[in-house]
Amino acid sequence: MNPKKTIVIVGGVAGGASAATRARRLDEDADIIVIERDHHVSFANCGLPYAIGGEISDRNQLLVSSAEVLRQRFRLDVRVRTEVTSINRAGKSVEVRDLESGSVSRIVYDKLILSTGAAPLMPDIPGIRARGVFSLRSMEDMDAIIAALPSARRAVVAGGGFIGLEIAEQLHARGLSVHLIEKNPQVLPLLDAEMAEPLHRELIAKGIGLSFNDALTAIEEKDGVATALITASGQRLEGELFILGLGVRPVNALAKAADLELAADGGILVDRSQRTSDPDIYAVGDAATVFYAPSGQSRRVALGGPANRHGRLAGEHAVTGEGAPSAPVFGTAIVRVFDLAAGICGLSLKAAKALHLDAFSVHSVSYHHASYFPGAKRLLSKLVFERGSGRLLGLQVVGEEGVDKRLDVFAALLLKGGTVADLCALDLAYAPPFGAAKDPLHQLGFAADNALRGLARFIDPDSELGSSQVIDVRPLAEARLKPLAGTTPLSIPLDELRDRLGEIDPARPAVLSCAGGIRAHHAARLLMQKGFTDVAILSGCATFRDFAINRTLGASARAPGAAAAAKPVVDTSSCSAGVCGNPPPAPSSTTENLSPAELATKLAAGQAWNLIDVRSPAEFRGGHVRGALLRTLDALNPEALRAERKNDAPFLILCKSGGRAGIAAKKLREAGIPCRVVTGGTDACVAAGLPFETEAACAGGTCRSVISLERQVRIAAGALVFTGVLLGAIVHPGFYGLSGFVGAGLIFAGITDFCGMGLLIARMPWNR
């Protein structure tokens, strides 16, 4: 018989608990001792933010397994509130101290597994230890934050990574005003810039204050209690609750003192069996390195999935001396940000280029299941692959639904060394409620395949387009709803392209764009086969161009009650080919139009002072941009508006789609009042995700259901035409003139965007 082994495991949670239970399942006789310095040996630390927000209502649900269960079910010797103070490698023993009694003892081991985890980064700055300043890593941290919630109204979160975003969302759910600061130019620095932009807009739409390119420098305190957070730019953000999500550092003091080999990032170096430089000592979890496949190097990846898997491998190898080597890690991660999810698997384009890989990327705008099936949600995706070989390098996805599915499928492909051809060939489940015949992954694969085969050439969405003739192949009405940022394109709808080739200069580079890319690809192929030699597709087209150019980068969106920034935060480090990610300068008051994206920025910064909605009261009650004031077109009084103008800023005018706003603007300009029309109206604002609200106080506490003015006009016009035809056939042919008059009026309204019938109906009692 083999001699009985003693396995000592330092630390529980994901890695340590997995190691202990796997070891027991493979060796019933081994002495397995688990030493944990906290009260809880195995808990779901990834669930901590959701317990703070109340989504997980019972904190005990976070306890994966208690010390009592581990003792009873697995016969483990679990010692909580105990810490290992040193390792004697020569004597194969550890010194242990009981944190309750202070007693010290020594334990001899055959194999030692270190699962010491990581600790939150706590910068050495004034006020960092004040009451009201928290990090989030343990159940005790969670309990302390929950206890502080009743007395808090405002929270400041430092760090826009996974933890920072999760805790910001959950504190907002608890009714707190939240401001988030991030030292980088974006949240989730793992993502490429244009992939993070939808998250910025979602945060702003939900009322979260944002500050980028700004680092924490101090915490103001009074009588030991934190009162404000001070940033490098001079911002003073007041609050009662301050959460630090600045990242984590490996807890490696034991390993370092024992002279175990460490990586450059401080992680404990291990082989593919999780053994350290001492073959009798293993390391797993956030303190240890992994084989990071995208770079082919050992580095730390602080994620729960690898920690669980590697703990299992270490436990098996410790008791049997054998086991399969650990699989490479690709860093697959996902986070929920209010109504969006965002995730990454493998490398971003910027990370791939930093590794000097010959990397390229394509974008996709698609839906999480068949677009025609009710409930389809938009998915924004970016594929990174190696030029030439077609080797897959990374995937980023943002959307409301289906993000996890695409990341998980892609992770399986990466594990097997997948290529663009493999992505195109995926045999995925398809039925309208679940997916599309051409899944978003297929669409990315097809685009990348076209690029590799020379059938299409893509340029980045933030590319400088000044020397090119940009051709927007969307119908004009669609193009007006979401203009192509930073350029004035030639508008030639795809269906007219063959007949209008003469408008395109074959001697100049041509860049094709549509909303997402499919129509632009059709157009590019047409031009290439008609002899045009310099043809490119704007990757992601108008959708991603908007994210790349109209970015919130550098903006400081102020949370309610927070102090304003002392100076603007500006970034110039991410300029590419002459195009910077900063938002363009604010247009002057003489500019006639304002895009919904520009309005969103003004709303977030508290600058939409004179926002008015000129629709009917019924339409306004049904839903309006937050902060807009109702000033109906029929009762618009320029002099009254002049008197209530809050400052020198122009009036920003909204209607449903832009027609009535244009009439109102003309009326105000004739009176010498500066104003701008929000292009596309409330329809475009809804599509852009601007914050909307409905009237809370109507008669009897509920609002009457009144159909939109546009539908009322259609009903009235149809009724008049039908009446004219009916009376003309039955009473007298002269009544046909009524139908003709109404038809002529509709033609006039379509050409001029002025609808007299609409103005008349807006005055009806039911619309007041």
For 117-149, what is each residue's pLDDT tens digit? 999 999 999 999 999 999 999 999 999 999 999
* pLDDT of 381 higher than 60: yes
Residue by residue, DSSP assigns 414-449 as: HHTT-BHHHHHH------TTT--SS-HHHHHHHHHH
* pLDDT of 422 higher than 90: yes
Q: What is the pLDDT of residues 677-708, one digit of tens each?
A: 998 888 788 777 788 777 544 434 344 445 66
Q: What pLDDT was estimated at residue 506?
A: 94
| Full-model pTM | 0.73
* pLDDT of 447 higher than 70: yes
DSSP strand pairing (133-134 vs 333-337): unpaired
Same domain for 754 and 692:
no
- Averaged pLDDT, 405-429: 96
* pLDDT of 353 higher than 80: yes
Same domain for 242 and 256:
no
Within 532-589, where are the H helices?
541-549
Same domain for 443 and 339:
yes
Q: What pLDDT was estimated at residue 522?
A: 97
- Averaged pLDDT, 549-556: 66
Same domain for 180 and 110:
no
Which pLDDT band holds residue 564 (cuts at 50, 70, 90)?
very low
Same domain for 312 and 222:
no
Residue by residue, DSSP assigns 614-649 as: -S-HHHHHH-EETT-EE--GGG--HHHHHHH--SSS
Q: 677, 701, 725: which is the final residue of a domain?
A: 701
Residue 695: name the closest of 632, 621, 627 by CA. 621
Mean predicted lDDT score pLDDT of the chain: 87
Same domain for 287 and 189:
no
- Averaged pLDDT, 742-759: 74
* pLDDT of 517 higher than 90: yes
**pLDDT-wise least confident of 247-261, 394-408, 533-547, 596-610:** 596-610
Query: Can you give the CATH number for the domain in which 620 is found?
Result: 3.40.250.10
Q: Contact at 8 Å (CB) between 363 and 539?
A: yes
SS (H, E, C) 305-331: HHHHHHHHHHHHHHHHCCCCCCCCECC
Q: What pLDDT was estimated at residue 615?
A: 87
Instruction: Identify any residues that bridge with 472 across adjacent strands, giving them in sequence order.
Output: 491, 513
* pLDDT of 251 higher than 60: yes
In a domain? residue 559: no
Residue by residue, DSSP assigns 126-161 as: TTTTSBTEE--SSHHHHHHHHHHGGG-SEEEEE--S
Q: What pLDDT was estimated at residue 475?
A: 93
Same domain for 171 and 90:
no
Q: 223, 246, 269: which is the final residue of a domain?
A: 246
Q: How far apart are the first and last CA of the chain?
A: 91
- Averaged pLDDT, 34-59: 90
* 401-405, 585-589, 656-660 — most confident range: 401-405
Task: Find the catalytic residue in 655, 675, 685, 755.
Answer: 655
Q: What is the pLDDT of residues 14-45, one digit of tens each?
A: 899 999 999 999 999 999 999 999 888 888 88
What is the percent of the chain with per-residue pLDDT over 70, rounded to a whole number?
90
In a domain? residue 693: yes
For residues 53 and 551, which has the higher predicted lDDT (pLDDT)? 53
How far apart (Å, rounded) are the C-alpha atoms in residues 244 and 204? Answer: 20
Q: 218, 246, 274: which is the final residue of a domain?
A: 246
Same domain for 723 and 691:
no
* pLDDT of 292 higher than 80: yes
Q: Which domain holds residue 694?
A: 593-701
In a domain? residue 694: yes
Same domain for 203 and 175:
yes
Q: What pLDDT was estimated at residue 558?
A: 40
In a domain? residue 549: no
Sheet bearing 93-98, strands edge to edge: 82-88, 93-98, 104-108
- Averaged pLDDT, 714-734: 85
Same domain for 410 and 266:
no
- Averaged pLDDT, 534-560: 78
Same domain for 92 and 26:
yes
Which pLDDT band holds residue 595 (cuts at 50, 70, 90)?
confident
Same domain for 299 and 278:
yes
In a domain? residue 467: no
In a domain? residue 299: yes
Which backbone phi and psi does 579 adopt, to 5 degrees?
-110, 120
Query: Can you give the CATH number for the domain in which 405 is found?
Result: 3.50.50.60
In a domain? residue 641: yes
Q: What pLDDT was estimated at residue 566?
A: 31
How far apart (Å, rounded) are the C-alpha atoms in residues 763 and 761? Answer: 5
Instruction: State how many domains the chain has.
Output: 5
Q: Contact at 8 Å (CB) between 746 and 752?
A: no
Report which residue type is found at 102: G
* pLDDT of 758 higher than 90: no
Residue 655 is a catalytic residue: yes
Q: Contact at 8 Å (CB) between 474 and 538?
A: no
In a domain? residue 753: yes
